[in-house]
Structure 1
Amino acid sequence: MNDEDSAHLLNLVRELRDEQGVTSIIISHKLNEIAEIADNVTIIRDGATVGEMFITPETPLDQDELIRKMVGRSLTNLYPDHESNKPGDEYLRIEDWTVHHPLDQSRVIVDHANIAARSGEIVGLAGLMGAGRTELAMSIFGKSYGSHISGKVFVKGKEVSLPNVQAAIDAGLAYATEDRKVYGLNLLQNIRENASMASLEKMSVHGVMNDNIERKEVEEYRKDFHIKCNSIDVNVGTLSGGNQQKVVLAKWVISDPDILILDEPTRGIDVGAKYEIYEIINKLADEGKAIIVISSELPELIGICDRIYTVSQGVVTDNVAKNGFTQEYLMKGMTKEKEVVAR
Structure 2
Amino acid sequence: MSITGIAFQITLNNGIRLWPAKVFSKESGFGERSIQELGTIQELFEKDGCIYVQSSGYDFEGATSPYQNGLIYKTDVAYIQGPIQQYDSNDLSLDEVFSLSEAANEWGMKDGATLRKAIERDKFFQGEVRKSESVHLITYAAMQRVFGAVPPDKHKEIPFVFISSAFIEEVRLLPSGEIQIFKIPVKRTRKSTIPYDLIPAYEVFPGSLIIDKLRFFDNLRMINYNFNQVDYNPKEDRHNEHLAEALLAVKEAYSSDKKVYMFDHKGYQQVEDEKDIELILESPYMGWGEIDKDGFSSMLNSVSSEILGMPKIINFKEVSEALSII
Relative to the length of structure 1, the TM-score reads: 0.26
Relative to the length of structure 2, the TM-score reads: 0.27
- Structure number with higher relative contact order (C-alpha < 8 Å, ≥ 6 residues apart): 1
